[in-house]
Chain A
Amino acid sequence: MYANDVKMSWEEVIEETRDFLSEEFEVDRDLILPENSLKDTLDLDSLDYVDLVVLIDENLNIKLTGEDFKEIVTFGDFYQLVRKKLAL
């Protein structure tokens, strides 16, 4: 698979995602676990989802929309969405 124009394994995509989410939203990386809530862990409000779309585009080169997040509760759900968009 390709993320950010570099060939990466799925595990590497997850680790990179944890890195940029942790850095941007200033939360402990260890809290970004598949079973944890995306919204609560990152303390997201409606505006933050706009920035999440930008971050995903910049880091994974995937275009998401606000609609894509409707069914997302956990980081695990989010990773599956990313996997689907990467067509893996």
Chain B
Amino acid sequence: MSQRVVITGIGIYSCLGKNLGEVTQSLYAGKSGIVFDQVRKDFGFRSALTGMVEEPDLKNYLSRRQRVGMHQPAVYAYMATHEALALSGLDIDFLEQTETGIIYGNDSTAASVVEAVDKVREKHDTTLIGSGAIFQNMNSTVNMNLSTIFKLKGINFTLSAACASGSHSIGMGYLMISQGLQERVICGGAQEINASAMASFDGLGTFSVREAEPEKASRPFDRDRDGLIPSGGAATVILESYEAAVKRGAPILAELIGYGFSSNGDHISNPSIDGQTRSLQMALKQAGITTSEVDYINAHATSTPVGDGSEARAIFEVFGGDVPVSSTKSMTGHECWMAGASEIVYSLLMMQNSFVAPNINFENPDEDSAKINIIAETREQTINCFLSNSFGFGGTNSTLIVKKI
């Protein structure tokens, strides 16, 4: 029998704020988290723009042994997960005695690999790398660290699906619970912010070079956009069966009612309207709702002409032009591996506080974006049901639908 899946905890550590309260304020205010980073310019980046997230000192939270295997992705993910668990009323004693899983999205550990390899190049001796590097270097770093710290006993793996990693992690958690295989899964996405991680992406020439106006540089759907801006941090979403949540008196924030996915099977970096449309339609079919029941779409739109145009056409094809749409990447930049999870958190905060966060910097539509209802200013509005898209390199598409309960 299929189980209902609810969200009982969320946590966020992003360029919009270090916790849910700060991020809610930023979303409502339409505040940009994009800055000019001189380190990148000196490093040789074409664009020095990035979302910036301070790295927290975990000494007050964790022992040395717990910290030594953590680099940026795990550190950010710890902060987001710590907040989500507290909101959900879950502590380590409870987690240790029950079966809680973790499926977290992550798709790089570049800086830690570079640091470890540089050390060997300098010392010519691998025994001087230190014990933490291997646990920092593996792509499953978030899972291995958090499952150890929080004493998790259930499903435990990392999900890598480019910029749809965070979204698919939630989708996989949803399937685990709906199939009755797990009662509770910690999902999310983490994204490192450093020059090593983004140098090769910058080399493609897809980042905005509007360096004189960092806050205006990310402009999804706007006619005058000139590229995306990388960003990062971490977002955690705790999924639970409705039954388990009610049994322990957990706060039920919303219900996850649909997960759609597809692969383009085409170009490695170009999007596909067909692939995106299939993902949208699959999610709607699984949720058993009509398009008119969706009150808000959090678009994947990253501020590239090809990507934004393709998504606008897919949304118009499936929904028509009425449903409110915004891309929070206009404020955050592209949070890549984390984005699918963070955008569920952002949309949930809008749902809880009855507003649609603006697609800032949307000043002039192009032919495609003119057909859909892009919200350029903060709008007070009840959201009973929202949909969130995430698309990634390799043509991986993911769509999640969340409903108030």
Contact = CB atoms under 8 A, between A and B. Distances in A.
Contacts of B125: 63
B64 interface: yes
Interface stretch (B127-135, B141-149, B154-162, B281-289): B127-135
Contact of B64 (A26, A50, A63, A65): A26
A53 B127 contact: yes
B64 A24 contact: yes
A51 interface: yes
Nearest to B64: A26
Contact of A65 (B65, B123, B127): B127
B376 interface: no
A87 interface: no
A19 interface: no
A57 interface: yes
Contacts, number: 28
The binding surface of chain A is classed by DSSP as helix
A85 to B, nearest CB: 15
A50 B127 contact: yes
Contact of B65 (A47, A53, A54, A57): A47
Nearest to A57: B128
Interface in A20-66: 24-26, 43, 45, 47-48, 50-51, 53-54, 57, 63, 65
Interface residues of A, number: 14
Given A24-B64, A26-B64, A48 B128 contact: no
Interface residues of B, number: 12
B70 to A, nearest CB: 14
Interface string B237-257: 000000000000000000000
Contact of A53 (B63, B64, B68, B128): B128
A63 B128 CA distance: 9
Contacts of A57: 123, 128
A52 to B, nearest CB: 9
A37 B37 CA distance: 48
A40 to B, nearest CB: 15
A43 B128 CA distance: 21
Contacts of B63: 26
A45, A50, A65 interface centre (most CB from chain B within 10 Å): A50
A4 to B, nearest CB: 15
A54 B130 contact: yes
Interface in B42-66: 63-65
A47 B131 contact: yes
A86 B152 CA distance: 46
A50 B130 contact: yes
Interface in B112-132: 123, 125, 127-132
B128 A54 contact: yes
A48 B125 CA distance: 17
8 contacts: A45-B65, A47-B68, A51-B130, A51-B131, A53-B127, A53-B128, A54-B127, A54-B129
Interface of A: 24-26, 43, 45, 47-48, 50-51, 53-54, 57, 63, 65
Interface of B: 63-65, 68, 123, 125, 127-132
Q: Which 10 A-B pairs have the closest CB atoms?
A: A50-B131, A47-B131, A54-B130, A51-B131, A26-B64, A54-B128, A51-B130, A57-B128, A53-B127, A25-B64
